[in-house]
Structure 1
Amino acid sequence: MLTKEQLLEIKALLEICEKDGGFQLKLNFDMLENRTENRKEDFFHYENGMLVGFLGSYGFGNKVELCGMVHPDYRRKGIFSSLLEMGLAEAKKHNATTILLNAPSGSESAKEFLNTIPCTYSFSEYQMKWQKTELSEDSKVSLRPSVSEADWEAEIQLEVLCFGFSEKEAREFNQTIRVNSGEENLIIEADGKTAGKMRVSESDGEAWIYGFAVFPELQGKGIGRKALSKVVLQEDKKGFSIFLEVEAKNANALRLYETCGFRSYHSQDYYDYIS
């Protein structure tokens, strides 16, 4: 687990790197703050007692995402290459079948580095923030906490059907989230029956929506829009700014989010590492 001091060091370095580059890095602080003790996922480089390089590894089933940074004054010294080598070795040790390197779309230094290693562009992801929009609630669609074994099994099915997990990976991933995350797991119901799921994380005045999915046979019926509207209104009433992420190639999801008032403010590019 990361200490409070380590988290503060990472945040301080992040602020320096983002200010210098004019972009935002995706370091998944909700995951950094809830690390387990049985796996090495964070890699540090210090110079004269100061953190100048960091790489975070984030596991999602059989997929691992790597994202890191180096202080502007310490670049071109092989620091990031060394951190990446350690991150890749650890990912391979855990038999990751997909390793994705994550870089801000606007980072020229990241693109220059990526051109030097074996990887290919895979997809882009938008970070979206909700802008005040008039939304209506529908009583036929409701949200409730995930509490039962049936709820758990529905969440596993949705991970498999909507996000490409194997059943084993889905169970391991969801177990990790429940044990180590402060997120709230919600079940979407339509006409009294389980229709989908989502997770909501609240921290530092922000609410992030993750893992939003509706069973394929129920998609296109307005259930997703009604569920999203409901959770947005709930979080807005609490005074939170509301965010989510979506892959650029997922046109249907992107359109749904935009119609509910979400607007893109930043993007990340993902590259498949070729081992």
Structure 2
Amino acid sequence: MNRKQLKDLEQLQLESEQGDFSLKLNWETLRSRNGVLQNDFLHYEGNQLVGFVGLYDFGSKLEMCGMVHPDFRRRGIFTDLVNEALEAALRREARAIILNAPGPSDSGKEFLKRIPCEFAFSEYQMKWSLTELSDHEDIIIRPSRITDAEIEIQLDIQCFQFLEKEAREYYQRIQYEDTLKTLMIEADGITVGKIRVDHSDGEAWIYGFSIFPEYQGKGIGKKVLSKIVAEQHNLGYDIFLEVEAKNARALGLYENCGFRTMQRQDYYEYKEGNG
């Protein structure tokens, strides 16, 4: 999207969000689109953007999120945009197509009843509250290097169930995201995991936090999170992260480090031919 479209989208989001919820539009991704694939579907009435659906490629799956201005609902605009986006997603033969709706959004849930899909999981968006954290000198966190490529790919395969082809494509794509920084985690001289931090508008968002299965359950995760949070806090950032609710263990880890839930996003897997 060009600058005007991004500005129009910001205004549409502002006018569309109602009540105590927010839409997950992945602004860092929207601003770094390279235009190779059609991922954004927009509907204008005159000069006003009134409808939007976006596709987001996360390696093993395509996620979809969108909205329509309250004054233009029940006109079939959103249905047309979703169908157009679904056609594009199906052409890519993604393993899974996931539709996203804010947890408290009744209108979103009502719309999804008309789509052949099944509830898959919930994701919690969390913000860090000032909490005393301990430093851990036995854990080293350093910037990723080119020589870490295979480790990053294997972490996505083993921890996030990416197929190898998907993991390699995802690794190549995120190299072009200017605000995203990948950090590698070392324990006892061995690289055991990674964590990604994205900076935007005075906020630091934590993504892709993964530790090889054989090193999990040893307290490394809490030590890493404490170091990252302390570093980002000292740099003056508000700190956020996202975690799937089905991972109760991870949710507890983040809560113990001072994170509190702000929003819940519900995800539904599209079931082609079930409707």
TM-score bin (small chain)? over 0.9
Q: Is the counterpart of residue 269 in structure 1 residue 269 in structure 2?
A: no
Q: Deviations over 1:162-194 (max 9, x none)?
A: 000011100101110112342001001112210
Q: Deviations over 1:12-32 (max 9, x none)?
A: 1101111x3431000000100
C-alpha separation between the residues in 2 aligned to 1:36 and 1:181? 12
Per-residue deviation at 1:97? 1.7
Q: Is the counterpart of residue 5 in structure 1 residue 4 in structure 2?
A: yes
- Equivalence for 1:233: 230
Aligned residue identity for 2:37: R
Picking from 150, 153, 156, the partner of 2:150 is 153
Query: What secondary structure sits across from 1:38 in the alignment?
Result: coil
Picking from 181, 187, 190, the partner of 2:187 is 190
Q: Is the counterpart of residue 44 in structure 1 residue 34 in structure 2?
A: no
Q: TM-score, normalised by structure 1?
A: 0.97
- Equivalence for 2:112: 114
- Equivalence for 2:215: 218
Per-residue deviation at 1:252? 0.9
C-alpha separation between the residues in 2 aligned to 1:229 and 1:40? 39
- Equivalence for 1:56: 54
C-alpha separation between the residues in 2 aligned to 1:180 and 1:187? 17
Q: 1:181 to 1:170 in 2, by over 3 A?
A: farther
Aligned residue identity for 2:236: G
C-alpha separation between the residues in 1 aligned to 2:146 and 2:96? 32
CA root-mean-square deviation: 0.9
Q: Is the counterpart of residue 169 in structure 1 residue 166 in structure 2?
A: yes
Q: TM-score, normalised by structure 2?
A: 0.97
C-alpha separation between the residues in 1 aligned to 2:47 and 2:20? 26
Query: What secondary structure sits across from 1:179 in the alignment?
Result: coil
C-alpha separation between the residues in 2 aligned to 1:256 and 1:51? 41
Is residue 31–residue 181 contact of structure 1 (8 Å, CA) maintained in 2?
no
C-alpha separation between the residues in 2 aligned to 1:62 and 1:222? 28
Aligned residue identity for 2:261: S
Aligned residue identity for 1:176: R
C-alpha separation between the residues in 1 aligned to 2:233 and 2:107? 37
C-alpha separation between the residues in 1 aligned to 2:19 and 2:255? 28
Q: Which runs of 5+ in 1 are unaligned?
A: none
Is residue 179–residue 200 contact of structure 2 (8 Å, CA) maintained in 1?
no
Is residue 22–residue 102 contact of structure 2 (8 Å, CA) maintained in 1?
yes
Is residue 120–residue 274 contact of structure 1 (8 Å, CA) maintained in 2?
yes
Q: Which runs of 5+ in 2 are unaligned?
A: none
Aligned residue identity for 1:70: V
Is residue 139–residue 223 contact of structure 2 (8 Å, CA) maintained in 1?
yes
C-alpha separation between the residues in 1 aligned to 2:226 and 2:116? 42
- Equivalence for 2:67: 69
C-alpha separation between the residues in 2 aligned to 1:98 and 1:183? 25
Is residue 30–residue 181 contact of structure 1 (8 Å, CA) maintained in 2?
no
Is residue 129–residue 244 contact of structure 1 (8 Å, CA) maintained in 2?
yes
Query: What secondary structure sits across from 2:176 in the alignment?
Result: helix
- Equivalence for 2:16: 17
- Equivalence for 1:103: 101
Query: What secondary structure sits across from 2:205 in the alignment?
Result: strand
Picking from 139, 142, 151, the partner of 2:140 is 142
Identity of aligned residues (%): 55
Picking from 114, 126, 129, the partner of 1:128 is 126
